[in-house]
Structure 1
Amino acid sequence: MQIDGETKIVAILGDPIAQAKSPQLFNALFERHAVGAVLIPLHVPSLRLGAVLDGLRNIVNLAGVVVTVPHKFAAAAHAADLSDSARQTGGVNCLRREADGTWSGGMFDGTGFVRGLLACGHSVRGKSVLLVGTGGAGTAVAHALVDAGAVSIDLYDADPGSLARVEDALRSRQSTTSIRRGVASAQSTHDLIVNATPCGMRAGDPSPIDLTGAAQQAVVADLIMKPEQTPLLNAAKASGLTVHPGRHLLECSVEAMAAFLRLMA
């Protein structure tokens, strides 16, 4: 990949950032389609996010930024305009720099997750889901599951405020999906079991969901990108369950995000 004075810059902001898979996937996409752009990782602590975004918006050849843990909700507050999905979830995972230096925000986690499931032959329509974690990605996934026709979603989060926020937002949509409070324990009625927490990212983390009661036909998904084989997925494999790693979400989001950044058609 050649980098010169005409190269468009994209940054991914996170804390931590070592787990990010976006640089490999985006840069491979840019090279494959001969796009004159490069994505670089930036480790940005939460208290410095505003200062970093204020600085980056002044860089004329910056196309935008990808946003990861834990900045998705906070970054949305810096956007002058939000896509429908970003407005719905209250968070962003992509900010596009406009010509006047303002940010426009988009959220692709939810649609990327559902597309990843479908690409692997796992339908969502009519299925019962356990979703553990209601942060930025979890919220986006919850809304996308409703859009995709899930019959029910059992929600759990250790933070009662976050749980109530997502529960209220989903119920206010008045969809046919049943929204219930659950526990971090799979039931035989769950067709899809999803970890949307960061538990499993660090060495020594336990499995965030008890799979003892899971049905044998259940699909167990984890949004964590690194490590690819998380404690949850290892426990699922040991129980003979179908696993769905986090990389599928990003792989099914990168082209849409590149288009949002106006780097591809």
Structure 2
Amino acid sequence: MSQGSPPISGKTRFYGMFGDPVEHLRAPTALNELMNSRGVDAVFLPLHVAPEHLAEAIAGIRRIRNFLGFMVSIPHKSAAAELCDEILPNARACGVVNAVRIDHDGRLIGESFDGLGMVRSIEMQRVINSDTRVLLVGAGGVGRSIAVAIALAGVGYLAIANRTLSKADELADAVRRAAPDCVVQSDSSFDPEGFDIVVNATSLGLNGQGAMPVEVSRISKAALVAEVVMVPEITPMLHSAQEQGLAVVRGLEMLTQQIEILADFFGMAN
């Protein structure tokens, strides 16, 4: 039975999620629901901050004694990692964070859970092993986290496509350092045919807008198509994949697989 959160008072703790924009964010709702079910006296807020003001905003928040941590979304994941006093193993390997805990002394401790959430979502439907071939489209913050996590999960071959080739090349090098047994290639684009798993880690499809990240008709019929975009829940890419009978992973599933882990990381308990 749901306990319900206490009314906001001087004892209430606060958390937030930085993004630009923030209308599409789903983590604050999910974490508020979890805290409500646990009877935790805390609130999780969406925080709309432009990139040029992120450092200033974080500098202020770390001085607020009852503000205990924050998440970061597009486009802040790399910048937030550079502002942390300490980054934990997953974040260190991929160079981005999506969650930052504020310790009692104001130190910022960052970690990345996006990749773990995506790997767990994929493993609900597929076995990942050295024979698995993955195409990842996008080398931004969430793409970096997914690339490292999926390589560490044991895939044999990872192709990283990104419009700016230098970013794909840099991420490929980071993955090779983290997971030497994984064969990694990078380019500005790849033909999706022949891959077992295709992951969109770009913002294409957000609010149903933008071009298709890949030519879905070229994806092998036995492949799994995964998405990081959460709004709409079924993006144009996933809709097209479903029309062709392909298995899909929605962006919301990546978040769902992280919620309990995030709550523990932030210490969301009575």
Deviations 1:217-259 (A, max 9, x none): 1000000111111111111112111111001111111111111
Amino acid in structure 2 at the alignment position of 1:19: H
Deviation, structure 1 residue 70: 0.4
Equivalent in the alignment of 1:121: 125
CA distance in structure 2 between the aligned counterparts of 1:218 and 1:50, rounded to whole angstroms: 41
Equivalent in the alignment of 2:229: 224
Equivalent in the alignment of 1:149: 154
Deviation, structure 1 residue 121: 2.5
8 Å CA contact 2:208–2:235 kept in 1: the answer is no
CA distance in structure 2 between the aligned counterparts of 1:102 and 1:26, rounded to whole angstroms: 23
CA distance in structure 2 between the aligned counterparts of 1:192 and 1:186, rounded to whole angstroms: 13
Equivalent in the alignment of 1:93: 98
Deviation, structure 1 residue 181: 2.3
**Stretches of structure 2 lacking an aligned partner (at least 5 in a row):** none
Deviation, structure 1 residue 23: 1.5
CA distance in structure 2 between the aligned counterparts of 1:114 and 1:238, rounded to whole angstroms: 24
Where 1:10 maps in the other structure, the secondary structure is: strand
Deviation, structure 1 residue 203: 4.0
1:109 to 2:114 alignment: yes
Where 2:167 maps in the other structure, the secondary structure is: helix
1:45 to 2:50 alignment: yes
8 Å CA contact 2:213–2:237 kept in 1: the answer is yes
Amino acid in structure 2 at the alignment position of 1:188: E
Deviation, structure 1 residue 169: 1.1
Amino acid in structure 2 at the alignment position of 1:242: A
Equivalent in the alignment of 2:89: 84
Deviation, structure 1 residue 164: 1.4
Amino acid in structure 1 at the alignment position of 2:52: L
Deviation, structure 1 residue 197: 0.3
8 Å CA contact 2:168–2:188 kept in 1: the answer is no
8 Å CA contact 2:18–2:48 kept in 1: the answer is yes
CA distance in structure 1 between the aligned counterparts of 2:179 and 2:41, rounded to whole angstroms: 44
Equivalent in the alignment of 1:70: 75
1:161 to 2:166 alignment: yes
Q: Percent identity among equivalent residues?
A: 32
Q: 1:240 aligns with which of 235, 245, 269?
A: 245
Count of residues in Structure 1 that have an aligned counterpart in Structure 2: 264
Where 2:57 maps in the other structure, the secondary structure is: helix
CA distance in structure 1 between the aligned counterparts of 2:76 and 2:245, rounded to whole angstroms: 35
Equivalent in the alignment of 2:63: 58
8 Å CA contact 1:81–1:103 kept in 2: the answer is yes
CA distance in structure 1 between the aligned counterparts of 2:198 and 2:158, rounded to whole angstroms: 10
Task: Quickly say closer, same or farther: Cα 1:74–1:217, change in 2 above 3 A.
Answer: same
1:130 to 2:150 alignment: no
Deviation, structure 1 residue 128: 0.7
8 Å CA contact 1:186–1:193 kept in 2: the answer is no
8 Å CA contact 2:165–2:186 kept in 1: the answer is no
CA distance in structure 2 between the aligned counterparts of 1:154 and 1:224, rounded to whole angstroms: 20
Equivalent in the alignment of 1:12: 17
Out of 167-176 and 97-106, give the one that drifted further: 167-176
Equivalent in the alignment of 1:210: 215
**Stretches of structure 1 lacking an aligned partner (at least 5 in a row):** none
8 Å CA contact 1:66–1:93 kept in 2: the answer is yes
Q: 1:170 aligns with which of 161, 168, 175?
A: 175
Deviations 1:108-147 (A, max 9, x none): 01111111222x3222223110000011110110111111
Task: Quickly say closer, same or farther: Cα 1:216–1:87, change in 2 above 3 A.
Answer: same
Deviation, structure 1 residue 107: 0.6
CA distance in structure 1 between the aligned counterparts of 2:121 and 2:171, rounded to whole angstroms: 22
